[in-house]
Structure 1
């Protein structure tokens, strides 16, 4: 499979990569929907992870939100894996025009990627809900209970919670990148989270590659479907 992927990459002129949580599992960050994902962990009878990671819960149960958020979504020790590094290398070679990611961990940038469109925001950015002052992730990690700004208001992570809208500028840029690409590599995502997953419809190029551990709705449309770990697949195909 790696040889076939290498051939697709070699023939491509403008690649876009569209990725999800599976890209970062090899960095030790759990995904959400797999058998070992965050959504399988017992949280008690009252709230699901979707409930806790919602705007409503953040607003009405702020301390509990941050307790869950720190324990499950912040991984300051995580490092880029071969998938992140391979994508950064493709961009440096002029092959890849953009990474569109559903992840919030910042590992694509840590690997060296420059053009990263973060559909769901980033844990590395945090902002006061009142005055807009920006804070790094350390502000959240070091706070006891609810992180506060110097003005006294809550510091909110720049991540898109359930019930919140995606950034329209990021969406528009993602659609433009997909429409201009001749090759789309989709990796580490089950393509079930909307509206992000629906963006792939903007791609009308020549080559579609799927790298994921389980089936997706796009498998039947793909030129190449790979079930290997994404770091292994991309790492061996990018020279």
Structure 2
């Protein structure tokens, strides 16, 4: 029954949008900083919680400690896109999936081959000098022993990510809102409807089917038209095969 309803909704969709949360990473063992187990280990290691360290004030007042954390816990945590991202890419390349909206900072959707990706929280490749605007790849940060500085003007470099407590860039917010508003089918993947980015952007959805694909059930998902509590990669693989066969 669920498979048939999902298949019918996806195949009939004219503007399919995916709104992706951290569960897409968790499925293959990559935990977000806000995961309780990982947050505990980080606080035990550094003496501060992720919510304290990954902030603008900590970056400004304790840059050496901040960049130790940034290198070891964020940059070094980059892996390869999991299977689910490649299934999204298949849907994107064939024209069925129109947009991917994500809070992923490792550019996994783009690396897998997705088109029209809105990365709400930035990405780890986009490090820059706030003074002269010179850009630096993550390798420059990883090679630095202390807080990295601009080779041209000497200013402290800034990661191109959204710190905790900061708002998403207005242009990205507007773009994400517009894409969700255009969608006739919205896939919320790897998140319940009470967590970001789903909570913020799903309210702009006015289409036919709001579908949650997440292994973990949550009371908030009662708002959805369809809930698939199965492994994400398995579900996206089925969707990709249905579209290919259609």
Specify if TM > 0.5.
Answer: yes
Cα 1:117–1:77 change in 2 (3 A) is: closer
Aligned to 2:234, what secondary structure does the other structure show?
A: helix
Verify the 8 A CA contact 1:102 1:118 in the aligned structure 2.
Answer: yes
Q: In proportion to residue count, which structure has more strand?
A: 1
Q: Give the TM-score normalised by structure 2.
A: 0.88
Matched, 1:71 2:72: yes
Matches for 1:1-239 after TM superposition, within 5 Å: 1-2=2-3, 4-26=5-27, 28-34=29-35, 36=37, 38-44=38-44, 47-75=48-76, 78-150=79-151, 151-192=153-194, 197-216=199-218, 218-239=220-241
Deviation at 1:107, TM superposition (A): 0.5
Aligned to 1:24, what secondary structure does the other structure show?
A: helix
Partners of 1:41 and 1:167 in 2: how far apart? 30
Deviation at 1:79, TM superposition (A): 1.3
Deviation at 1:75, TM superposition (A): 4.2
Deviation at 1:215, TM superposition (A): 3.5
Verify the 8 A CA contact 2:21 2:191 in the aligned structure 1.
Answer: yes
Deviation at 1:24, TM superposition (A): 2.1
* Number of residue pairs matched by the alignment: 238
Deviation at 1:31, TM superposition (A): 2.4
Aligned to 1:43, what secondary structure does the other structure show?
A: helix
Q: Gaps (5+ residues) in structure 1?
A: none
Q: Give the TM-score normalised by structure 1.
A: 0.90
Verify the 8 A CA contact 2:64 2:146 in the aligned structure 1.
Answer: yes
Q: In proportion to residue count, which structure has more helix?
A: 2
CA RMSD of aligned residues (A): 2.2
Partners of 1:145 and 1:192 in 2: how far apart? 38
Verify the 8 A CA contact 1:127 1:134 in the aligned structure 2.
Answer: yes
Partners of 1:226 and 1:68 in 2: how far apart? 36
Q: Gaps (5+ residues) in structure 2?
A: 242-246
Cα 1:31–1:181 change in 2 (3 A) is: same
